[in-house]
A and B are shown apart, each in its own frame.
Chain A
Amino acid sequence: MHLLWQGLLLGLSTGLFCLGACAPALVPALLVGQRGWRGSAAVVAQVAGGRLLAYLIFGAAVGALGTALDPGSQALRRLGGVAMLLLALVLAAHLAGLGPRVATLPVCRLLPARVFRAPWAFGFLTGLSVCPPFLLALATALGAGGPLEGALFFAAFFAGTALYLLPLVPLGALGRWEAPRLVGRIAGMLAAGLFAVLGLGQVLLA
């Protein structure tokens, strides 16, 4: 119980930063679709679901590894870099409407084609992107005592941070007009470029 409470508090206290870290990917992705409030809420829910899945898997893995994994380790930073690169690819493909075409590239066959147009994929990859709140959660989950405890801790952390995703719902509803959709697409492409550069830097210089 203490672990859940700790995760929730950590999520609530750092959630605004979480929203900020994911916003460059999420805001443009939400803007580009022609959808109303309900559709937008569904997308936000899918993104949140993808992030929860990533957190649960990661939390369980970290809980199982225990203290064997150093939060500042090279491998972890490289993993974060790879996640950022994938996020950039998925985001760019989604925004350019190239999902199916990109998915046929040899390197992308590792992932199912629908990943390139599915909001949960953003959620999953943003969940794996290493940001300061994520590292804080990771450091705590290392001492959780097992895979179940690690997963529970990350689930509570997710619940705390997910609250901050709610303000994104009205943004998605703007996508019914062409101008915000174009603006979102451009901002998203720039964000994809930034994530690609950051991810590459993290992979090469970690």
Chain B
Amino acid sequence: MSEEVATPVAKRPPSLRTPWRWTVLPVLVSVALVSFLVAAPQAQRGNPLIGVAFVALALGVTVYILRSGRVENARLLIFLSTGLLFTAVFEISNTINRGSILLSEQQLATVGAPICPVTIGFVLPPLLLNGQMIFPTTVQAALSITVMWVGFGLLLGRGWCSWMCFFGPMDQFFSRLGPTRRGGRPLVEIPERWHRQLRWLPYGLLLFLILVALVALEPIFCAWLCPLRLAYDPPAVTRTVEWLTVIVIVTLGMGLLVIGPFLTKRRLFCTYGCPLLPLNSIVGLLSPFRVKVDREKCKDCGICARVCPNSAITPATVAKGGTAMECTRCGTCMDRCPQKAIDYRLIGSNARARGAFIALAVAFSLLLLSSYVNGLEIYWQTGTMPPMGGA
């Protein structure tokens, strides 16, 4: 009688790879969306080959993310490219239309400034309540950027902040660049008890900015505090008060966008300083997508909390099977989770929504990217570029 020797069955490592049969539909959605939007009448100014390239990119990126089960690398490629190209278009447009990348008080009074989505929270209340436009741009520009942001916010929630926002790439870049100590820890760690308080900073900031906007009818964040002005619309310095503004902007900008993210490996501006965060988080509650943790697979190793660039997943939220409402759906935690216990799910159910989310996020982020490529193409061909955001 021969004894059967039990051979150990090789256990496949957990994976978030999507089978081919579930990949086809999201890829079709992504490709169809990009084809439709890139071919829209207002986008038909450029070389059709660029449109074809974007459709191919949509196909490639969607297939790569779904088949590899990894979100982060492809997302970073699109996101950082968006930041880079947006910056190029912004600065070229200002140089052509304003004569300088610097924003002087005189230009502010005569030409205005391009509106940005960060201002929505405190520009809209005085506009809706008093009919006062406190930002030096047109009402149409403010409303159009609001409609665009609401649309994406309802669809992707705070996914806007990791997939589409053209300002987000700056602290994302430096947070990725930051070195790590042994165990993958950043040089400077933000203790969780600090984060529990600091997390409310953008909410307090927005409340303050709304109150001041209603009283003083001034966008003081844009005038005095916005760290993004380190790169976008830095003030032209001719008076003492402008020097003071520059000191504040450079200090906050270096702290929240460059040095801070580098040391902490956290997107500090996007997590603790962006006045759009509260609105994004609240509107995001209506988004159909959530990032959820499968408690049966989770071993509570804490890696997700350590790598989340937005500190939106903590041991406390993992215990509840999800993330904080500030989660930007960037996918970092999913990629790094050894148990592959974290994934995109549909709201109110446990149904997997990876294909649907990725298809929409890739399509719309590529659409935004294509608009900047379009802008550069126009500049290349004609030497001109339309002014940005209603300026």
Contacts and interface: CB of A to CB of B under 8 A. Distances in A.
Contact of B207 (A17, A183, A194): A183
A187 B208 contact: yes
Given A21-B215, A28-B207, A187-B205, 20 more contacts: A20-B211, A20-B214, A20-B215, A23-B215, A24-B212, A24-B215, A27-B207, A182-B197, A182-B203, A183-B203, A183-B204, A183-B207, A184-B207, A186-B207, A186-B208, A188-B204, A190-B205, A191-B208, A191-B211, A191-B212
Nearest to A194: B212
Contacts of B220: 194
A23 B215 CA distance: 8
Interface in A1-27: 17, 20-21, 23-24, 27
**Which secondary structure dominates where chain A touches chain B?**
helix
How extensive is the interface on chain B, given as a class? 10 to 19
Contacts of A184: 204, 207
A98 interface: no
Contacts of B201: 186
A185 interface: yes
A117 to B, nearest CB: 20
Given A184-B207, A187-B205, A190-B205, A179 B200 contact: yes
A187 B197 contact: no
Interface string B218-230: 0010000000000
Interface in A155-206: 179, 182-191, 194
Q: Which 9 pairs from chain A and chain B are nearest by CB?
A: A186-B204, A187-B207, A20-B215, A187-B208, A190-B208, A182-B200, A187-B204, A183-B203, A24-B211
For B200, B207, B214, the residue with the greatest tally of chain A CB atoms inside 10 Å of its CB is B207
A188 B211 CA distance: 11
Contacts of A190: 204-205, 208
A174 B208 CA distance: 16
9 contacts: A21-B215, A23-B215, A24-B208, A182-B197, A183-B200, A183-B204, A187-B211, A191-B212, A194-B220
Interface string B175-217: 0000000000000000000000100110111011001101100
B203 A186 contact: yes
Tell which of B197, B200, B220 has the most Cβ of chain A within 10 Å: B200
Contacts of B197: 182
Contacts of A186: 200-201, 203-205, 207-208
Contacts of B212: 24, 191, 194
